Amino acid sequence: MHKESSIYLLANQHNNVLYTGVTNDLILRVYEHKHKLVAGFTKKYNVDRLVYYEICSEIIIAIE
């Protein structure tokens, strides 16, 4: 049995910088982005607003 996965899209305050991610724990991952716990692109460009997500039955489907 596979764990449910999600593909998600984050944006900055002005919606002119976007980030796409894949995770098996959407709530935790969005929390990490919003609180700047993730070093890298989203922290550097202040991308922390969830604008879209889709639940997938398997991680491979989310990646496709």
The structure's pTM equals: 0.86
Write out the two tokens for 46. 């202040």
Q: What pLDDT does 49 receive?
A: 97
Domain hosting residue 53, numbered range? 5-63
pLDDT range class, residue 19, cuts 50, 70, 90? very high
Average pLDDT of 10-16?
96
* Model confidence band, residue 2 (pLDDT cutoffs 50, 70, 90): low
pLDDT in tens, 24-62: 999 999 999 999 998 999 999 999 999 999 998 877 777
- Domain count across the chain: 1
Q: Give the C-alpha separation, 19 to 39, whole Å.
A: 14
- Residues 32/17, Cβ–Cβ less than 8 Å: no
- Centre a 10 Å sphere on the Cβ of residue 20 and count the other Cβ atoms it contains: 9
